[in-house]
Structure 1
Amino acid sequence: MVASKARVSFKQYMQYTKQYTKWGIKLFVMADVNGYTIDFKICTGKSKFSSGKGMSFDVVTSLVNQDYLGDDDLLFVKWIDTREVSMCTTVHTVYSGETVLRWQTTEDGQKQRVPVPRPTAVRQYNKYMGGVDTSDQMLGTKSVHRKTRKWYMTIFQHFLDIAVTNSFLLHKELCAIHQNKPMTWQNFQELLAVQLTGIPLDVSPKERFDHLPVPVSGIQDPSKKASMGRRCCVRCKKSTPWTPSARSVMWAYACN
């Protein structure tokens, strides 16, 4: 969910969710176990090209390469754990000798942990699940999101977060291949910002921000109205007696 209360027809409200974001634009995401976003799709409501098999079916078939679906014998597995777990797979065997410990009550009323057979597909699912949750955690850390009145700018900022996160994950993979120590998440973002803006980090703030806001009007006559010379801010739409210098405007555009 990309948090937004914009007045668009495809805005979603998630009432029964544990996430703090209830209003926003919903994205269906396919990610790997490391959190790398492979593909995504914006939920825009009921599709005109629906297959009639439900939204879950349409989303999965639109994101996953369909060559992986139904290209071999389809295996259906139902495992009785705390509740029934049902899975379909085309790449796993039924059982490969794996067990998992579960609590069971013996005949004399004692509880003990006993090994229970576990299907191969269940173990693989538990190993590789959670990629979308990992991606959400990384996207929510040091995000580039800024308050805006335009819903498409909110989506664009989210896409920037996805691009930066994927770049960082690729950086970690390359460092692992070459047996180098990867940068931290913060250092990677700082270096990326330096390369995009062309402003080094070792420059002091005084050298980078050698400007101050200047008054719109130089009239100091107390008999004049307090609103004399005020202008409307292009961002907050409020009346202000101050305006940034030309250099500060160039810096703001470079940062954005």
Structure 2
Amino acid sequence: PREQNVCIDEQIIPFTGRCPSRQFVPRKPNPTGLKVFVLASASGIVLDFEMYQGERTFSSKQFMGKKAGQGVGAILRLSESLSSGHRLFCDRFFTTIELIQELQKRGIYMTGTVAKRHILSLNFSSDKAMKDQGRGASEQVVSGDDCSVIKWYDNKPIFIASSIFGVEPNVVQRWSKKDKQYVRVSRPAAIGAYNKSMGGVDMCDRLISYHRISSRTQKWPVRCMMHFTDLALSNCWLLFKKYVSKQIDLLDFRMSVGLTAIEMANQEEQDSSSTEKFTVTSPIIVDRPNAARCKRKGCVGKTRTMCEKCKVYLCLQPHRNCYKMYHMP
């Protein structure tokens, strides 16, 4: 089941080897590597993802009559599995006013920080004027289709756009460097909802970083397999905590999964070896003038049936199947 609040963000698979689609993304814990666009719940459970493969990644996506860019293409691709009523959060790499309006037509409510260059046409007060009003000052511009754009001044101006949340203020505590104490600051509802629901992908990154599968390799497919194994284990642990009353540490959970996988592999190997011992051999009828003595211990019969693999003569009759008994483990 999918939570109502979901987020889309970039994730980096650490990799410094050679790969055509390797990226450098500033302000990431591991800035160099393979980029993945991830859809996750607010609790950190990954719901869907799409690996960056160069310019052709979202080449099939069209938006406003032209080819969609990477940010818009990622939103259009990952929102395909969302239904009406979902609330989607993302950062300014993905957010545009036109995209918010398009998703609103589908019943998906999008909220995201937006770059200042995308809203130059909106008449907001200057940064200096809002700074003079004091920390927590905010302004809102609402379009005709109920898409609101908010400018909030905290330590610096922040722009956020939303099709569901507005400027309705709530009071929160913030640390003041000047006063050396916590102060009460007014914060718009859109900012509060964004801070609460945007950290799902970062939570997944943090869980993976605790016990990442580490192995030096210059092959990017191997690194991807390691990463997505870590991602699956992180997802499983979060689901285990959510639906099972028994609590277990992440490292203990990973160890138990690994030990179970080893035990299952050993059991499958034993089963396959015992099956192979019986099935890969095949009996043949040897054309010889006299029957040979059966080689199974305790049998005194004679036969012209020989095991093709073992090169021994064994009885193969309805009432005396030495061939089967000889090959039993």
TM over 0.5, yes or no? yes
| Equivalent position to 2:147, from 74, 88, 93 | 74
Going from structure 1 to structure 2, the CA distance change for 1:190 and 1:60 (only over 3 Å counts) comes to same
Q: Deviations along 1:107-138, whole A, 9 cap, x unmatched?
A: xxx99976443211111111222222211111
How many angstroms does 1:167 deviate by?
0.3
Query: Residues 171-191 of structure 1: CA distance to partner in whole angstroms, max 9, x if unpaired?
Result: 00013xxxx341111111121
**Partner SS state of residue 159, structure 2:** strand
> How many residue pairs get matched?
190
Judged with a 3 Å threshold, the aligned counterparts in structure 2 of structure 1 residues 113 and 161 are, in CA distance, closer, same or farther, namely closer
Report the 3-state secondary structure (helix = DSSP H, G, I; strand = E; otherwise coil) of the residue aligned with 2:242. helix
* Corresponding residue for residue 40 of structure 1: 49
In structure 1, the residue matched to 2:251 is 186
The counterpart of 1:195, out of the listed 260, 263, 279, is 260
For residues 68-107 of structure 1, what are the structure 2 equivalents within 5 Å? 68=86, 69-70=103-104, 71=107, 73-95=146-168, 97-101=169-173
Segments of structure 1 that go 5 or more residues without pairing to the other structure are 105-109, 200-256
After superposition, give the CA deviation of every residue in 1:185-211 in whole Å (9 maximum; x if it has no partner).
Answer: 111112111221117xxxxxxxxxxxx
Asked if the contact 1:11–1:25 (Cα under 8 Å) also holds between the matched residues in 2, the reply is yes
**SS of the counterpart of 1:85?**
strand
Distance 1:120 1:31, change over 3 A: same
| Higher Cα Rg, which structure | 2
Cα 1:75–1:190 change in 2 (3 A) is: same
TM-fit CA distance, 1:161? 0.8
- Of 34, 50, 57, the residue aligned with 2:72 is 57
**Alignment partners' CA distance in 2, 1:2 and 1:166:** 16
Q: Residues 45-95 of structure 1: CA distance to partner in whole angstroms, max 9, x if unpaired?
A: 223346456422222232233745213743332222222222222333441
Cα-to-partner distance string for 1:200-240 (whole Å, 9 max, x where unaligned) = xxxxxxxxxxxxxxxxxxxxxxxxxxxxxxxxxxxxxxxxx
SS at match of 1:118: strand
Larger deviation: 141-150 or 188-197?
A: 141-150
Matches of 2:68 and 2:83, distance apart in 1: 16
Q: Could you tell me which residue of structure 1 aligns to residue 188 of structure 2? A: 119
Residue 144 of structure 1 aligns with which residue?
213
The residue type equivalent to 1:88 in the other structure is A
Please provide the CA RMSD for this pair: 3.2
Give 1:164 shift.
0.8
Give TM-score, length-normalised by structure 2: 0.50
Note if 1:166 corresponds to 2:235: yes
Checking the alignment, whether the CA contact within 8 Å between 2:150 and 2:166 is kept in structure 1 is: no
The TM-score, its normalising length taken from structure 1, stands at 0.62
Cα 1:18–1:2, aligned 2, differ >3 Å: closer, same or farther?
closer
Distance in 1 of aligned mates of 2:228 and 2:175: 45
3-state SS of paired residue (1:198): helix
In structure 2, what is the Cα distance between the partners aligned to 1:140 and 1:114? 34
Structure holding more strand per residue: 2
1:130 to 189, 196, 199: 199
* Residues 148 and 101 (structure 1), Cα distance of their counterparts in 2 relative to 1, 3 Å cut: closer
The answer to whether the 8 Å contact 1:12/1:24 transfers is yes
Q: Read off the aligned partner of 1:169 and give its amino acid letter.
A: L
SS in 1 for 2:235: helix
Distance 1:191 1:103, change over 3 A: closer
1:12/1:130 CA distance change after superposition, 3 Å: same
CA distance in 2, matches of 1:26, 1:181: 35
Amino acid at match of 1:7: R
How far apart, in 1, do the equivalents of 2:48 and 2:75 lie? 11
